[in-house]
Amino acid sequence: MADDSLASHRRDPIKSSVGNVAAQRRRQNAATVGKERRESLVRAKRLCRVGATGEGDVLVEENHMMTDEEGFLLEDQTSSAVKELKSAVVYQGKGAMQKRVNALRELRRLLSKSEFPPVEAALKAGAIPLLVQCLSFGSPDEQLLEAAWCLTNIAAGKPEETKALLPALPLLIAHLGEKSSLPVAEQCAWALGNVAGEGEELRKVLLSQGALPPLARMVLPNKGSTVRTAAWALSNLIKGPDPKAATELIKVDGVLDAILRHLRKSDEELATEVAWVVVYLSALSNFATGVLVKSDALQPLVERLATSNSLQLLIPVLRSLGNLVAGDSHTTSTVLIPGHEITDGVIKVLVKCLKSDHRVLKKEASWVLSNIAAGSIEHKQLIYSSEAVPLLLRLLSTAPFDIRKEVAYVLGNLCVAPATGEGKPDLIKENLVSLVQRGCLSGFIDLVRSADIEAARLGLQFTELVLRGMPNGDGPKLVEQEDGIDAMERYQFHENEDLRNMANGLVDKYFGEDYGVNE
């Protein structure tokens, strides 16, 4: 095994009389490691284990739970490596450059070993100022690369650690320029991506220091790992909540073109990162949304949804589509015109998502359908007559809660005509009757029984449609059959006043004293 310097130091004392204490500490360690591990999993930051040029310690065990011993050892080595770097930086004599690169390389290896690199030790030993020095203009590529790599991994962990990179930011941004070698630019982009992924404050700093334009230019080429890394970093940089960065990005010369090109032609990995950029563009910036819709961005999105099976790619592509539909009424009214090929294509891929095994796809596809179903009567009929409805009906009774809620929105929207702004919206009786006959009422009554306010509201609203709209006064009977009265009566002691009033109002109106008497 490569790099077994740790193994050679492993000693048996762990099994000796202090075994109990050590075991206890290991258990505690496991709990903290568990928490640390969970935190590291959800972060929008990425550790660099294999460098831009392909080198790196790929043979290191994944999920290797370090013993205390190993942990202390690593910290010691790190402190020494930083000390070594310090003297290398100061040294002016022969072979100074090589000395510096070697010291950097050693530190970089220590910082790339495990899932939890010894960042604290490195910071304590004073690594940052030294690394900043190593980034100075005119330094050889190898030196820049190793320094940026170290900074990348220092920034990949806890918030305080990422914030420690502040002094290095201007230089990292500077090395994104077109004069830099690609591997160097990529490694700097990676470090900046981690910084941007930390939070709003650091994003603001980066934007004020001019990180956006050079990073944007890095996605213009057709391919390469640099493009992918830069796209990922951009997605972190523009994620807001301030929409300014998103709007600025779409305005950069050539970016819109590049985005569409990548969505259309690039490999799935690259398309995935670009799709996340589109997610944030379409969620935050109305301007960007308009530009994207007008430039026919829907087409490549639909194409990807139709042809790809990679969940990693499907999630951001679906969401981009959803954001474009949700964010701009023009999408539904001018692009997704019923009868046009693109519209059929959209419905088809949404149906494909409904059929998938993945919870996120089912939920967000339902959301998109609900927004299309909030369009014109023709849109509603288009969905109503598609393959979507039987799938939705099944999901309404069997899917997890969050999916059922979205499905409820679709089905309800299919039964109600577009709002005219006056009084209650008209019912689309045929759709309501048909859906109820196909058994959707029990799913809605289930939502009435839910502890989730929004779901309960939906359930009650749909129940009202049934009570009001079913012909021959069948509504109340049907609702009673599904234990709807029981479900509504639960609200008499519910703490939410709106729901109470809604439920009480329905019970009063439709199940009052005269209910069931004249049969």
Q: Which of 241, 339, 471, 473 binds another protein (CB under 8 A)?
A: 241
Minimum distance, C-beta of residue 429 to another protein, in the bound complex (Å):
14
Q: Which of 345, 412, 443, 475 binds another protein (CB under 8 A)?
A: 412
Using rule CB under 8 A, residue 449 touches another protein = yes
Residues 136-175 binding another protein (CB under 8 A) are: none
- Identify whether the C-beta of residue 85 lies closer than 8 Å to the C-beta of residue 130: yes
**Burial of 513 (C-beta count, 10 Å sphere; 0-12/13-18/19+):** exposed
Bridge partners, residue 56, by sequence: 50
Residues 82-141 binding another protein (CB under 8 A) are: none
Rounded-to-integer distance, Cα 229 and Cα 151, Å: 15
Binding part of the chain for another protein, among 23-31, 95-103, 120-128, 449-457 by CB under 8 A, reads 449-457
Rounded-to-integer distance, Cα 233 and Cα 188, Å: 10
Rounded-to-integer distance, Cα 277 and Cα 438, Å: 41
- Identify whether the C-beta of residue 336 lies closer than 8 Å to the C-beta of residue 325: yes
- Give me the phi and psi of 256, to 5 degrees please: -60, -45
DSSP 199: -
Rounded-to-integer distance, Cα 108 and Cα 43, Å: 21
Residues 281-310 binding another protein (CB under 8 A) are: 283-284
Residues 9-38 binding another protein (CB under 8 A) are: 38
**Burial of 92 (C-beta count, 10 Å sphere; 0-12/13-18/19+):** exposed
For 220-256, give one letter per residue: b (16+ CB within 10 A) or e.
Answer: beeeeebbbbbbbbbbbbbbeeebebbbbbbebeebb
Query: Residues touching another protein: how many (CB under 8 A)?
Result: 86
Q: Which of 307, 329, 385, 481 binds another protein (CB under 8 A)?
A: 329
Using rule CB under 8 A, residue 409 touches another protein = yes
Using rule CB under 8 A, residue 192 touches another protein = no
Residues 413-442 binding another protein (CB under 8 A) are: 413, 415-419, 424-425
Minimum distance, C-beta of residue 184 to another protein, in the bound complex (Å):
23
- Give me the phi and psi of 149, to 5 degrees please: -65, -45
Q: Which of 56, 71, 199, 240 binds another protein (CB under 8 A)?
A: 240
- Of 9 and 64, which CB lies nearer to another protein in the complex structure? 64
Minimum distance, C-beta of residue 5 to another protein, in the bound complex (Å):
26
Using rule CB under 8 A, residue 370 touches another protein = yes
- Of 26 and 494, which CB lies nearer to another protein in the complex structure? 494
Three-class secondary structure assignment of 162-195: HHCCHHHHHHHHHCCCCCCCHHHHHHHHHHHHHH
Binding part of the chain for another protein, among 51-59, 77-85, 356-364, 383-391 by CB under 8 A, reads 356-364
Residues 460-499 binding another protein (CB under 8 A) are: 461-462, 464-465, 480, 485-486, 489-490, 492-496, 498
- Of 134 and 441, which CB lies nearer to another protein in the complex structure? 441
Minimum distance, C-beta of residue 105 to another protein, in the bound complex (Å):
25
Residues 36-65 binding another protein (CB under 8 A) are: 38-39, 41-44, 46
